Amino acid sequence: METIQSDVVIIGAGGAGLRAAIALAEADPSLRIALLSKVYPMRSHTCAAEGGAAGVIKGDDSLDLHFGDTVGGGDWLCDQDAVEFFINEAPKELTQLEHWGCPWSREKDGAVGVRPFGGMKMKRTWFAADKTGFHLLHTLFQTSLKYESIRRFDEVFTTDLLVSDGRVQGCCAIEMRTGEMLQFQAPAVIICSGGAGRIFPFTTNGAIKTGDGMALAYRAGVPLKDMEFVQYHPTGLPGTGILLTEGCRGEGGVLRNKDDYRYLQDYGMGPETPLGETVLKTMELGPRDRLSQAFWHEDKAGNTIPTKWGNCVYLDMRHLGEEKINERLPFVRELAKSYVGVDMVTDMVPIRPVVHYMMGGIHTDINAATPMPGLFAAGECACVSINGANRLGSNSLTELLVFGRRAAESAIAYLNGAQKPAVDTAAADRQAAEAEGRIHALFDRKDGGETIAGIRDAMADSMESGAGIYRSEELLKDTTATLADLRKRQTGIALKDKSKVFNTELTQTLELSCMLDVAQAVAVSAFERKESRGSHQRLDHTERDDTTYLKHSMAQYRGEDAPAIDYLDVVITKSQPGVRDYSGAKS
């Protein structure tokens, strides 16, 4: 087994991983940086983000307003110290990206333009047409090519963390083109492996978003925090789950039910705003959880439109006119045309809520550090708790930048710290050999009649039915039981593909086991939280309960058993829990 020595290993080369790598390379050119990714960096799912990235720059806006929107949007489950840090750093990071060449959309005088976004009181979302994440990712990736100290390992699939003495010591991974195991020894590891939307059947997330990094940390003993908070995005294309950005509503698109009625006014987000005029934080610019929940009620009331892909409502953009649509949302127009055959200039687009984002993730503190010495995490896989119970759109791209850099700085501080952490190479070698043995054993499994697709679909269906937009004790009981069963049944998958080179059956098997672990953490956390907050809505506990649950859930891995759930206090600095008000009355 080849061993690669470095100072910092980064697992994942999406927005967060690349930002961390660049920060390391800039801070100290002598650092040896290993950047691992199971796909080429520019394939990372950050490329799919459309709408934009939030950061305060305009005169009429303020850091306090961004803070208020974020904390309220998160239903007060955010750690307010982290939010404050995040909001302070956001404009700097976005400007830095501008200096690196990101093609931000501009105002007439050449200043960066901002657009309105759901749940934000001010226009503060920087955007690059409707391909913000794409441009962000490619800008970071291309900029990273400048630094020779960033050693990339593309299409290298991480399977295990190496941990000894309670500290992380590196990781091991399969080089997909050879099928060989590689051992990465390093005193510091940053996980930036993205989300896990694929545990649901209907998601905007790409095939690679299988929660691998979350599972790695979880299995190594780091708790997963607030996993029950899963964001549904209200406007997905039926069938494929392709996202129509929130920018659609930001630019003035409206939602209608089967009677052409703008139903959001019935769900505390009214009064109805005039067509073509958007009022921030009301109606279509309400937060995602509320909009998705409204859909659920409309569907139950029989007000949705049946299509061959299931029930839908309409997104109406017609009043915006062709010119504005082409200028601001060209990509979205193209997507709707290709995938559902509708031109939004002349027709309404069928849409429905779709799983989009994991608020929860690897537990980290404000420094992007996990409880395990040497292990850091940033991006969607992590939960620093700036998103609370519901992320505001356009906060997460900024989060990648702010906490990607923060993780890098913390890693450097750790490396230079008093203990001068070193790798116990003997222990690492031993663990890596064990990990390799486990992979080899997968090839020899007996056929128990199970298939990857079978177990994956069963998992996703049970997540949708029990841990979807609305949850209840009964539904969740079924789901947790199913998941526990599926975790056992996965050992009955026999690999038909015995070759080493680019064996995607092998990687899919590994991804499936990560997804099952993560799904179980989601379902069990949801089961234990007997209140409704943000994206977590219980039919049997419909109110928010700040006395018992103004706390983060912490799912602790317990091997083959279901996780144990503990709670951790939320950090509150200046905003006491209040009412989330998205009616036009106030503000």
Partner 1 sequence: MSRKPYVREVPKATWYMRNGRYLRYMAREVTCIFLALYMAGLTIGLVRLMQGPDKWETYLAGVSSTPAVIFHLIAFGFACYHAKSWFDVTPKAMRIPQGNDFVPGRIIVGTHYGIWGGVSLVALVLMGVL
Partner 2 sequence: MSERQITFEVLRYNPETDDKPWVQTYAVPCQEEWVVLDAINYIKDHLDTSLSYRWSCHMAVCGSCGMMVNGEPTLSCKAFLRDYKGNTIRVEPLTHFPIERDLVVVLDDFMEKLTSVKPYIIPKKEKPVEEGEYKQTPRQLKNYKQYTMCINCMLCYAACPQYGLNDEFIGPAALALTHRYNLDSRDGGRSQRQEVVAQHEGVWECSFVGACSEVCPKDVDPAGAIQQMKIASTVDWYLEHLMPWRGK
Establish whether 68 is an annotated binding residue.
no
Q: Is 288 designated active site?
A: yes
The stretch among 91-99, 162-170, 443-451, 495-503 that binds partner 1 (CB under 8 A) is 495-503
Q: What is the x/- site pattern for partner 1, positions 149-178, by CB under 8 A?
A: ----------------------------xx
DSSP string computed for 39-86: S-GGGSGGGG--S-EE---STT--HHHHHHHHHHHTTT-S-HHHHHHH
Q: What is the x/- site pattern for partner 1, positions 178-197, by CB under 8 A?
A: xxx-----------------
Contacts of 325 (CB under 8 A, 6+ apart): 317, 333, 344, 345
In the block, tokens 């070759």 appear at: 499
Q: Which of 167, 262, 288, 529 is catalytic?
A: 288
The stretch among 93-101, 250-258, 269-277, 496-504 that binds partner 1 (CB under 8 A) is 496-504
CB of 180 to partner 1, least distance (A): 8
Residues in the chain: 587
Residue closer to partner 1, measured from CB, 112 or 366 = 112
**CA dist., res. 289 & res. 299, Å (int):** 15
Q: Is 349 in a helix, a strand, or coil?
A: strand
Helix (H) or strand (E) holding 506: helix 504-528
Q: Is 113 in the site for partner 1 (CB under 8 A)?
A: no
DSSP string computed for 350-410: EEEEEEEEES-EEE--TTSB-SSTTEEE-STTEE-SSSTTSPPTTHHHHHHHHHHHHHHHH
CB of 323 to partner 1, least distance (A): 12
Q: Using CB under 8 A, count the residues that bind partner 1.
A: 7
DSSP string computed for 306-342: EETTEEEEEEE-GGG-HHHHHHH-HHHHHHHHHHH--
Q: What is the CA radius of gyration of the chain?
A: 23
Q: What is the x/- site pattern for partner 1, positions 1-40, by CB under 8 A?
A: ----------------------------------------
Establish whether 15 is an annotated binding residue.
yes
Q: Pairing relation of β-strands 150-154 and 33-37?
A: parallel
Short-list 68, 361, 379, 359, CA closest to 211: 361
**CA dist., res. 233 & res. 26, Å (int):** 36
Residues in 528-557 at the binding interface with partner 2, rule: CB under 8 A: none
Name the amino acid, one letter, at 83: V
**CA dist., res. 563 & res. 107, Å (int):** 50
The stretch among 136-144, 167-175, 223-231, 388-396 that binds partner 2 (CB under 8 A) is 136-144
Establish whether 289 is an annotated binding residue.
no
180 binds, among partner 1, partner 2, ligand FAD, none (CB under 5 to 8 A by kind): partner 1
Among 326, 338, 416, 499, binds partner 1 (CB under 8 A): 499
Q: Is 326 in the site for partner 1 (CB under 8 A)?
A: no
Which residues contribute to the annotated binding site for FAD? 12-17, 37-52, 212, 380, 396-397
The residues annotated as belonging to the active site are: 288
| Numbered residues of the known binding site | 12-17, 37-52, 212, 233, 245, 356, 380, 391, 396-397
What does the binding site for partner 2 look like in residue numbers (CB under 8 A)?
A: 39-40, 42-45, 47-48, 92, 95-96, 98-101, 103-112, 131, 134-135, 138, 142-143, 145-146, 154, 177, 206-208, 239-240, 242-243, 308, 335, 338-339, 451-453, 495-497, 499-505, 508
Q: What are the residues binding partner 1 (CB under 8 A)?
A: 177-180, 499-501
**Binding-site residue set for substrate:** 233, 245, 356, 391
